[in-house]
Structure 1
Amino acid sequence: MQGSELRLYIAQFAPQWLDIDASLRDLRGLLNERVGQKSVGDEDVCQLLLLPEMFASGFSMQPEKFAESPHGEVSQALSALAVEYHLNILAGVAQSDEPGQGRREFYNRALYLTQAGKLKQAYSKQRLFSYAGENRIYKAGDSNRVFHIACAEQSLRAAVFICYDLRFPELFRQLAREVEIVFVLANWPSSRQTHWRTLLKARAIENQCFVVGVNRVGEDENTLHYAGGSVIFNANGDCLLDCQQQPWNDFSISMVELQRQVAHQRSEFSFLEDL
């Protein structure tokens, strides 16, 4: 039994700097071009669009210029796009508290929305990038988040982390037994590209799960260059997809097969039992 298909759309999206409206226009244009009517009508295909960290603004230390409440323009746009294109969406965004809650706090978050446009999970980045002063501007999250990617009667147990989180293996270890696939959304500059790929592979090997790293391309207003390099590793650390600098990439696998590979790896080499 092959079961439902998990189809990943990895968008190595280059945001329009601090321009939410322009970035959302670019995203809609990309979906029109790359997904279109292919997204409609197959109940046995779980389509998941993956967007990098702060996809609509760029990785900026000026969130007061673009961060929104959880019900702001970006969240509403993602919900509408999920319904229109029949997509589940996992996207990195900057958010703030609801208005009227005292001192305004900012968060670097990942949102998971179903194809019905419903927000199912919001994860706040736990390890803030002090090298760039992120820890002085944003508020850190304090817990992991496990969610389910569901299609028909099947589902995968998943988790998401954001960029600098990748350098802290203890975060991944805390939920290793609970998940089969982990996503990392990032703005990871090309100057540290070797670290990006090496750490993603390590997280896959040591936690015996699929790991999907999603990075951006292009250059931001801080003159940082991003070379993409989004990649998928299986539970053995084998590379299944290397996006290099391509702006759009597809990858498909049976959900049953993904679960089988993870279960086999963990049964054959029961390393997680020794934690």
Structure 2
Amino acid sequence: MKENKNNGLRVALIQSTLYWENPVANREMFQTKIDQIIAPVDIIVLPEMFTTGFSMSPGNIKKEEGLKTLDWMKNIAHSKNTAVVGSIIFYENDKYYNRLFFVKPNRTFETYDKRHTFTLAGEDKEYSSGKERLIVNYKGFSICPLVCYDLRFPVWSRNTENFDVLLYTANWPTPRINAWNALLKARAIENMVYCIGVNRIGEDKVGHKYSGHTSVYDPLGELLLLSEIEETVIVELFKNEINLVRKKFRFLDDRDGFSLLN
């Protein structure tokens, strides 16, 4: 796809190992990685539960850590003049959530609580499920951020609002990485969007291994980027390319209308 330098959105994707249930160590580690991003970017994306790993013991984390991480994200967004996105364990009103924060440079933020908690790991027993999808308007792009297991549910991901980007943060393990690759591509094609998946890498304390595969697909499902190592990668998205593809292939005009019942 041809590039247009006048309407790009530069997105930094950080694929990293994580310290198990250690928010302080993870914030320090990500601070170092973010400080090493020299080129200007518009968004920095971190993996799912980036301060703890995919822990099913939220009670092991001090309840105030969620607010501390939110403040940390606000400070980075402001100092780097970029949005910062990622999900964390968050405690509120006597409940735990796998909550994604989209924090903007002016320190304002929007939130999304993971809709599809991962029953295979018992996430549904420890974390409350979200009920509403989030669409963020940022620098001329409309972005729908979702979390990990949400990727398996095309109805929840369906592009009913004509958004431009589907963004998934994840802790997606190696044994099911083929599904990750296939579903990211499918979500891009069926929704005619850029589809981004940011995964972690390494092994956690309960023995799950992660091979990364942080990826970006264009609105026709072409792979733009794939990473299998611990690194920060930058991709640029172009609004005019979305418009050109949708004008040429008007597939979204034929999508089925529907309403979610619960």
Question: CA offsets per residue over residues 130-151 of structure 1, 9 Å max, x none?
Answer: 000001110000111100122x
Question: CA offsets per residue over residues 52-85 of structure 1, 9 Å max, x none?
Answer: 1000100011112226469611101111111222
Conservation of the 8 A alpha-carbon contact between 1:67 and 1:94: no
Secondary structure of 1:27's counterpart equals helix
Closer/same/farther in 2, CA of residues 71 and 195 from structure 1, 3 Å limit: closer
Instruction: Name stretches of at least 5 consecutive residues in structure 1 with no aligned partner.
Output: 40-45
Deviation, 1:183, is 0.2
Partner of 2:231: 247
* Structure 2 residue 229 is matched with structure 1 residue 227: no
Conservation of the 8 A alpha-carbon contact between 2:218 and 2:224: yes
What is the CA–CA distance in structure 2 between the aligned matches of 1:271 and 1:157, rounded to whole Å?
A: 19
Q: TM-score, normalised by structure 2?
A: 0.91
What is the CA–CA distance in structure 2 between the aligned matches of 1:176 and 1:56, rounded to whole Å?
A: 32
Closer/same/farther in 2, CA of residues 80 and 249 from structure 1, 3 Å limit: same
Conservation of the 8 A alpha-carbon contact between 1:217 and 1:228: yes
Question: CA offsets per residue over residues 37-63 of structure 1, 9 Å max, x none?
Answer: x44xxxxxx521010100010001111
What is the CA–CA distance in structure 2 between the aligned matches of 1:26 and 1:92, rounded to whole Å?
A: 16
Secondary structure of 1:205's counterpart equals helix
Conservation of the 8 A alpha-carbon contact between 1:67 and 1:95: no
Conservation of the 8 A alpha-carbon contact between 1:53 and 1:91: yes
Closer/same/farther in 2, CA of residues 22 and 130 from structure 1, 3 Å limit: same
Partner of 1:191: 175
Partner of 1:122: 111
Aligned residues: 252
Conservation of the 8 A alpha-carbon contact between 1:107 and 1:139: yes
Conservation of the 8 A alpha-carbon contact between 2:148 and 2:168: yes
Quick one: percent identity of the two aligned structures?
A: 27
- Runs of 4+ more than 3 Å apart: 67-71
Q: TM-score, normalised by structure 1?
A: 0.87
- Tell me which of 126, 138, 146 is aligned to 1:149: 138
Partner of 1:80: 75
What is the CA–CA distance in structure 1 between the aligned matches of 2:119 and 2:18, rounded to whole Å?
A: 22
What is the CA–CA distance in structure 1 between the aligned matches of 2:50 and 2:66, rounded to whole Å?
A: 17
Secondary structure of 1:178's counterpart equals coil
Aligned residue identity for 2:251: F
Partner of 2:259: none
